[in-house]
Amino acid sequence: MDIAARIVTLYPVEHCPAAVLPDQDESADLFGVTPQDGQSEFAASPWRPVIAGVRRWNPEDYRAPHAGLAYRVVGVTTAVARMTGDVTVLLLDVTVTATLDGIILAERDAYDPAVEIKLGASTLAPAVLGEAARLEAAASRQQILLLPGGLFDPDDLPADAAGTLRKLLVKDTDIGYRPSQMAVLAPPDINGPDRQAVFVWATNTVAAGFEEYGELGRLRVLGLVLSNCQTIAATMAARSIRAAALAELDAAPDPDLDEDAETLRDRAEHRIRRVARLRQDLSRHAEVHARGTAVLGGRPLLSYHRAVVAESDLPTLLAATEHLLEQLSAALAVEQQLRNVQEARETAAQQLSVARSTQGLLNQSEALKAASVIFASVAAVLGLAGLFAQAAAIPGAQDGTYFGSLPGSVVFVLAVALFAVLIGVAVRVASRVSVPPRWRAATRWARWALVGLTSLGIMASAVGVLVPVGVAVAGIGAVLLILLVAAEFEYERR
């Protein structure tokens, strides 16, 4: 006996550069119903798939290996569902009449990636989306089989009916299946109505009896399609993010202790931004869809969506992607520690360089001070020796000198030498004395006063009558000036 069946197959699109789709949702053209605000809390969700580009084809244009032989095609419609994250899903809605085996072959023709379906002269994707369009791998496809009510009862499913159900889900006409060894999910809530049945296995759904509930049944069909679209979107996003996380993990450079902190900082910041972006994309484009944020139809459809997600590869993909992102975070933590170590090393090197420079300046200051003291002492000795050399000169007649005899001249020279030594010691002691801050201004005035006094003594020495006074004033002024300058060295350094 032939049965009318509706087969909705969803193909993720890999590439469709030429497709220009309208922004307006065309769900009513395909399913006879459009959710309105207030009918469902998720109707206005930005994550809800938007169905557009609905097009009906002549059933004779549908070409597949078993079309016209094992089953008769009575209706063909195509559409495109668009979702956040630049995900596009091609929707093929085929209505056929056939026996159960013919329906299984119709399912297989639409689902099998080895089968090339044509609409007219072109294959499926180019016919709907343009010549350059390509479909994703078959692992991401989802399929919904809609059957009349009364074929399967979730509460009372005999072994023969259970075996037939599994053949429809697996799309196999040659092999029988043991129900006890092949678990099929029958989601609660959506299986509550007495004439309705929904079963989920892997990427396939078998639903029966929706046509008996009018608009509610049509809304449920739309909900099934949108749920599977979201599962595809989440799966594609998780796979893309997992590939990016693997590439990022493989691209991680080996730690190099010779790299400077700035290079490590820049690289770490770029990687942290990329990993944060991957986490954001995983949350926005995968987890949101996986949790049914935009599922229409309330609790029955949410229960169905959880079953679809549980039977898909999505939980494994999400767990693997989360694990990879955690590994990336751990690698970034290591880079952060390496950067901190390098920054500490560079800071220590800079501090050591500053300390060495400071020590060098201090050493130079000490050397300058010592040289100045020695120079001043030598200048004092030479000045005094030169000053009194004339008086201590020993001409042919000793009576003409200030000392009157040779022993007196020798004693005077020795006394001058001793006096110079005492001046040197006094200068060294004065160089270690710190002048209090409140006296420093007065010290500067005293220095210039001594300079003036010494100058006056020198000028007075040029006058014959004032020679002894001028010499005494110049000598004492010079000695005091040297001591004062030596004392100033200490607070100049501080």
Mean pLDDT of 299-309: 89
What pLDDT, on a 0 to 100 scale, did the predictor assign at position 299?
A: 83
Distance CA 284, CA 290 (A): 10
pLDDT digits (tens, 9 = 90+) for 265-295: 777 777 778 888 888 888 777 877 777 666 6
pLDDT digits (tens, 9 = 90+) for 30-86: 888 876 665 554 556 777 888 888 999 999 999 999 999 999 999 999 999 988 778
Query: Which positions ≥6 away from 333 have C-beta within 8 Å?
Result: none
DSSP string of 101-126?
A: HHHHHHHHHHH-TTS--EETTEEHHH
- Position 111 pLDDT exceeds 90: yes
**CB neighbours of residue 102 within 10 Å:** 20
**Beta-strand pair 142-147/134-135:** unpaired
Query: Which positions ≥6 away from 7 have C-beta within 8 Å?
Result: 93, 94, 95, 96, 103, 106, 107, 110, 143, 144, 145, 146
What pLDDT, on a 0 to 100 scale, did the predictor assign at position 386?
A: 58
**Beta-strand pair 134-135/3-15:** antiparallel
pLDDT digits (tens, 9 = 90+) for 455-469: 777 777 666 656 677
- Token pair in block for residue 63: 């070409």
* 281-295 b/e (C-beta count within 10 Å ≥ 16 → b): bbeebbbbbbbbebb
pTM recorded for the entire structure: 0.67
pLDDT digits (tens, 9 = 90+) for 476-486: 777 777 766 66
Binning pLDDT at 50, 70 and 90, where does residue 178 land? confident
What pLDDT, on a 0 to 100 scale, did the predictor assign at position 169?
A: 92
What pLDDT, on a 0 to 100 scale, did the predictor assign at position 38?
A: 57
pLDDT digits (tens, 9 = 90+) for 198-222: 999 999 999 999 988 888 888 889 9
